Amino acid sequence: MAELFFWPALLFYGEAALGYVGDARHPGAAGRAALWGVRLGWLAQTALLVVQAARDDGFPWSTWAGSLDLFVWFVVSAYLFWGSRRPYRLLGLTVMPLAAALLIVSRAGGGTGDGEPSHYSNLFLVVHVGLVLVAFAGFTLVAGMSALYLWQERRLKQRNATILRRPAPSLATLDGLAFRLAAYSLPALTLGIGVGIGRLVNRGDSVDALVIATCVTWFVWASYLVLRVRGLAGRRAAYLALAGFLLVIVVRLALPATHFA
Amino acid sequence: MHLVLVGTSHHHAPVEMRERVALDPEQAHALAEQLGEAVVLSTCNRTEVYIAADDADEAERLAVAALADVEPALYRLRDRAAALHLFRVAAGLDSLVPGEGEILGQVRAAHEHGTPGLLLDRLFRNALHAGRKVRTQTAIGESPSSVSAAAAALAEQVFGDLDGCRILMIGTGEVGEQAARNLRTRGAEVVLTANSKTDRVELAAQLATVDVVVSSTSSPDVVLDAETVERNRRGRQLLLIDLAVPRDLDPAIHELDGCFLYDIDDLQAIVVETLAGRRSEAERAETIVAAEAEKFHEWHASLDVVPAIASLRAHAEEIREAELRKAEPVLGRLDESQRSAVESLTAQIVNKLLHLPTVRMKQAAAAADGVIYADAVRHLFGLEDER
């Protein structure tokens, strides 16, 4: 049953990713079609998650692949909030291909099917996994905004004559939004990590590579915020955000097997 | 009733000719009153007289006489062509800069100052509707069409909302003034207007407090160099607009991180590109305008057959009522609801019988055969006396 919703979600996310490429070349119909792709894909994925939750006895995203499925949903939900506003649509150029790719990875790992009963409590999983994923979704959007910032800055530096025909959000807007979104995301990550470490200490479990990488990620994003408060802005801030996002990718894709095992 | 247009525009007459027939609102109103049912549209790019009259030749003669000073440059259009022209004008498609928005307000003002009857009132309302539709459904008016507007739009690409944005003006050239005016209307404020003789130390000190620098002096030398900018801006992001020839600002400034320097050629390239964008949008706008003009034409043409349709319906209703009166001895025995059912039944038969001829006559009117059909209907149903 859950599989029935996976394919439409992937199809629409893929269509949206292609649509945004078309929109970057010729703004107009392709952009509108892409936005509809995001909306319909999001609805299909929401239905997929609802089916997973209804079928499973408890929190159904306790595997790394399952949590990746939920992570994609958080990212697309957050994008949908901003993406429906015209100047931010181009953010989809970075967000939607990533969402489609991660959904495929999630399916390959069995994350889009029916879940298996977890040996963790539901409350712990909801708080720990949920908060960490929300934070990572926020950082993903910050990275998207930073990429868009670098693209827009490059257009301004190249004195691109088409710059006013394809308007993007201003540098100041992207810079400010990225900072605010990171500032909202870091507390969620802090709390998610705190709950996880608390449980680790209680059970006397050992620290694995994922926990260490997540803590490094936290440190990088905390440094990002501290440096932003101290005046870091513009291109350097954008590069730092992208570096922080690389760690998010590593944490989400490269290391989870050890942690979830 | 015919629609007659006589006028001249920037396509046909240079400014020295157009200014001879330029009219202020009072003069336009006086001319319209003198011409009967008329509207006079007079802007810096055109003067056009729209008249609704039964005698089109006479109306045209009067309009040409009113604009006799530029007679060789006058164009004359009638009915469908005249309506389409006004729709294109209202949509900004006939403007010097395609899609400029000012013309819509000017058409509205002309309508208000004119003396329109049924035909001209409908024409101008529909033209305004078409103009608004083009602006909402295409991007024809979205991009800047001048160097000064492009400078302001660029500032928005860097700083977003310009409310509270601070501008340093160097020089008081006309284009620089226009750029500053464009920036001010978007919320920015000019903190200092300097010139090439202003103390360089004072000028440099301002760089730490401003977001946009607009320079347009006639100085033969560079007014601000890259080193001065880097030393004094304290890490601030800066947009620098150099409108001067020779250039006032050191081109190396553009290489500094967070500094964006645009000279007059860069801005002109942007304007050329945005105008090209407007032209491609104009193709979509033409389709919208043509559809709206066609709707107006159908309505206008239907006016020719309206009297025949009205006569036919009145004639049919007369017959229906007469037949009901004849049947009164029988119908009188019916109760109220039965009588109402008979009334409704006969009315429906008449309506259904006349529906198709009515539609066909209106269609024929739009295809220019309306008068022939109307005459045939009058003849077939014996309506000649009611003409």
Mean pLDDT taken over chain A = 84
- Which token pair is B361? 């006559």
What percent of chain A has a predicted confidence (pLDDT) above 70?
A: 88
- A169 vs chain B: nearest CA distance in angstroms? 7
Return the closest-CA partner of residue B55 out of B73, B34, B37. B37
Are B70 and B8 a contacting pair, CB within 8 Å? yes
Q: Which of residues 20-79 of B touch A (CB under 8 A)?
A: none
List Cβ neighbours of A223 (8 Å cut-off, separation of 6 or more): A240
Q: Do A170 and B154 touch (CB under 8 A)?
A: no
Q: Do B273 and A172 touch (CB under 8 A)?
A: no
Number of H helices, E strands in chain B: 14, 9
Q: What is the mean pLDDT of residues B34-60?
A: 92
Predicted pLDDT at B384:
64
B331-370 pLDDT, tens digit per residue, is 888 888 998 999 999 999 999 998 988 888 777 776 667 6
Instruction: Please name the residue of chain A whose CA is at the shortest distance from the CA of residue B254.
Output: A157
Are B67 and B43 a contacting pair, CB within 8 Å? no
B199-245 pLDDT, tens digit per residue, is 778 888 888 899 999 998 888 888 889 999 999 888 889 999 998 88
User: Would you say residue B53 has pLDDT above 50?
Assistant: yes
Pick from A161, A163, A233: which is nearest to B157 by CB? A163
Return the closest-CA partner of residue A142 out of A31, A246, A27. A246
Q: Measure the CA angle with vertex A152, ends A150 and A153; round to 5°.
A: 65
- A234 vs chain B: nearest CA distance in angstroms? 7
* CA A80/CA A70 separation, integer angstroms: 15
Burial class of residue B4 (count of CB atoms within 10 Å of its CB; 0-12, 13-18, 19+) = buried
**Interface confidence (ipTM) of the complex:** 0.76
Pick from B159, B160, B273: which is nearest to A161 by CB? B273
Torsion, Cα B75 B78 B80 B85, to 10 degrees, reads 30
* CA B8/CA B46 separation, integer angstroms: 6
- A33 vs chain B: nearest CA distance in angstroms? 17
Q: Which of residues 217-236 of A touch B (CB under 8 A)?
A: 231, 233-235
The phi, psi pair for B69, rounded to 5°, reads: -60, -25
- Which residues on chain B are in Cβ contact (under 8 Å) with A168? 157
| DSSP 8-state class, residue B224 | B
User: Would you say residue B5 has pLDDT above 90?
Assistant: yes
Beta-bridged to residue B168, according to DSSP, are B192, B213
A184-232 pLDDT, tens digit per residue, is 999 999 999 998 888 888 887 777 888 888 899 999 999 999 999 998 8
User: Would you say residue B386 has pLDDT above 60?
Assistant: no
Give the number of other CB atoms < 10 A from CB of residue B132. Answer: 13
Burial class of residue B118 (count of CB atoms within 10 Å of its CB; 0-12, 13-18, 19+) = exposed
B171 Ramachandran zone, left/alpha/beta (phi>0; psi -120 to 50): left
Q: Do A156 and B158 touch (CB under 8 A)?
A: yes
* CA B278/CA B98 separation, integer angstroms: 6
Residue A42 pLDDT level (bands cut at 50, 70, 90): very high
User: Would you say residue B387 has pLDDT above 50?
Assistant: no
Pairs of residues, one from chain A and one from chain B, whose beta carbons lie less than 8 Å apart:
57
- Which residues on chain A are in Cβ contact (under 8 Å) with B154? 156, 163-164
B16 contacts chain A (CB < 8 A) = no
Mean pLDDT taken over chain B = 88
- Which residues on chain B are in Cβ contact (under 8 Å) with A162? 273
Q: Give the residue numbers of B annotated as catalytic, written as ranges.
A: 44
DSSP secondary structure of A166-183: S----HHHHHHHHHHHHH
Q: Do A162 and B273 touch (CB under 8 A)?
A: yes
Predicted pLDDT at A1:
66
Read off the pTM.
Answer: 0.68
- Dihedral of alpha carbons B164, B169, B174, B179, sign: negative
- A233 vs chain B: nearest CA distance in angstroms? 9
